[in-house]
Amino acid sequence: MTDLCGAEWIKLWSLRSTPIGLGLAVALALYLAGSNSMHGTLLRSGSMGPIDPIRAAFDGPSWVLPMIGTGMIGAQSMVGEYASGLIRTTLIAVPGRRRVVAAKVLVIAAVMAATALLAAVGGLALAVATANGDSRGRSLTDSASASASLHAIEASVLLLPVCALIGMAVGTLLRHAAATGFTVCALLGFGPLLLRPDGNRWATDVANVMPYYAWGRLTSAGPGAGSTVTAGVAWCILAAWAALSIVITTVVLNRRDV
Amino acid sequence: MIETRQLTKRFGGVTAVDDLTFTVLPGRVTGFLGPNGAGKSTTLRMVLGLNAPTSGTATIDGRPFRLEGAGLRRVGALLDAGDVHRGRSAQAHLAALARSNGIGRGRVAEVLGEVGLSDVARRRVGGFSLGMRQRLGIAAALLGDPPVLIFDEPINGLDPEGIRWARELFRRLAADGRTVFVSSHLMSEVEHTVDHLIVIGGGRLIADEPLGSFAARATRHSVKVRTDDPRRLSAALTEAGGEVTTDGTGSLSVIGLNTSRVGEIAFANRIMVYEVAAESGALEAAFMELTAASVEFRAGQAQ
């Protein structure tokens, strides 16, 4: 298994799109955290001006692009194999398909978790550093704020791997780059923008199980802050997305002729 | 050793491979021939566990390949030179494959050298010519130093030097005692390389025999025979139904009799013969005759 993970690691980093994509995702998260902290969030209506550093660092819309970006990299790990035919070379080298999926899942999830950690911690630090006046002092000393920060970081470290795994499952199902790209954007980006937990019962139920709102519930400052879902359920929703994605990827790859 | 037993694959209503049974033995180069769409690639994919058979079995050294944990040390295969990610360098592509099977980095450099790609190892595969990608595919197949090697149309895109190199490589691998299975849709590509032929048409087995006896199946092609008594042999062959022409130097050209028949007639008449050979193109002719028959057979069945 170590060897297989090593192989997936080489595959991931030998594509130029990986460092560029992850670098951009982190840079964007950091920039938006700082910018949100100094000037208020760019995308939200309502009162503009300086805001709480946690809210600035874990502003929902600011995380949509990193979510889609990691989803795409996850998708690319499967679509790249199918579209190029590399999947055949891979499966001749390693005929046990479940092991191939396991290695991909481990490597992608670990890299995305590290990326998320960098973006979350860096963004929060930047937001704190650029915040002015009393909100800065409060978030550094207040133990409630410290605990909220920790939860928000944990939720984010789970969010991006989940997005990547969703991308992998979609990529395995569709195999086609454009169709996969559209579906990943729809699931992770347009979906949360179109369906909000805004009171309509049906829309609220659907929105609540989206990774975006589950994460927002856990950052307690983000888009799901007013949600009726408990934190425990929100964790379970994210975990369920990950599990479902892994099952889809494994079963589909295992059954299909390549 | 590669074995298929009653191997069958249907895609919807189309039968791509139909009740195919053959064995590919080690120590020789076995050619796998058939016209386009004969089912060669589908058969190879089933052998390699990429496609699941509709019925029947395909095994490598007695076991279905899907059950292997790591494959490169058991089988090396080049199915399609395009089966690589264009964004990776040759080096990275091979390094990932080697790593997945616990093969050291040194071996990557070795096989790159062996196929002549050392100088371009760091270039991205997207910029490679078809011939270079074929060489990369062959390098990947050699990585694990496997006892069984499968190449699907490996000569495509290679330059004359590359073709000669590949032929020598296949012969060398077989001489090591390995099983070497090389597919092609052109007889001319394999006739100088293979010892044994498996020919399929319309998904069915047409021939499974040594190269020499396959060539002898060409009834409409000429056989060259060299003898110390051309006059008497010529008469005997004509009597047996052959059309004989002579070039006046002791060499006869016979149409209508195959090599075995010519040999038998010479032997029966106690005529010394120095050489009996199917003239160049006989294999191609036999291939065309047999596969054309398979196509007609299929059309007849559909009515």
CA closest to A3 among chain B residues: B100
pLDDT value of position A42: 58
Residues B193-206, mean pLDDT to the nearest whole number? 90
Q: Give the residue-averaged pLDDT of B193-214.
A: 88
Write the residue in A14, A81, A87 that is nearest to B89 by C-beta.
A14
Task: Decide if B50 and A258 are in contact by the 8 Å CB cutoff.
Answer: yes
Report the pLDDT value the prediction gives residue A99, as an integer from 0 to 100. Answer: 92
Distance from CA of B59 to the nearest CA of A (A): 13
- A80 vs A253: CA distance, rounded Å: 14
pLDDT at position B8: 94
Domains of chain B from N-terminus onward: 2-209 (3.40.50.300), 222-280 (3.30.70)
Task: Note the pLDDT tens digit of each residue in A112-126.
Answer: 999 999 999 888 888
| Interface contact flag, A95 B67, Cβ < 8 Å | yes
Tell me: the pLDDT tens digits for B21-62? Answer: 999 999 999 999 988 888 999 999 999 999 999 999 999 999
Q: Could you count the other beta carbons within 10 Å of the beta carbon of residue A200?
A: 12
- The pTM of this model reads 0.81
Size of interface A-B (CB pairs under 8 A): 103
Question: Which of B70, B89, B93 comes nearest A94 by C-beta?
Answer: B70
CB-based contacts of A106, cutoff 8 Å, min separation 6 = A5, A8
Does residue B300 register a pLDDT over 50? no
pLDDT tens digit sequence for B85-104: 988 999 999 999 999 999 98
State the alpha helices, DSSP H only, in chain A. 2-13, 17-39, 53-57, 60-84, 86-93, 97-130, 133-141, 143-174, 177-185, 191-194, 201-208, 211-219, 231-255
- pLDDT below 70 — which residues of chain A? 40-51, 132-144, 199, 220-227
Give chain B's contact residues with A (Cβ, < 8 Å): 45, 48-52, 65-72, 75, 77, 79-80, 82-89, 92-93, 95-97, 99-102, 140
pLDDT at position A128, please?
A: 82
Residue B16 to chain A, least CA–CA distance (Å): 14
Q: State mean pLDDT over B246-257.
A: 81
Between B45, B84, B87, which is nearest A16 by CB? Answer: B87
The answer to whether A88 contacts chain B (CB < 8 Å) is yes
d(CA B88, CA B17) in angstroms, rounded, equals 34
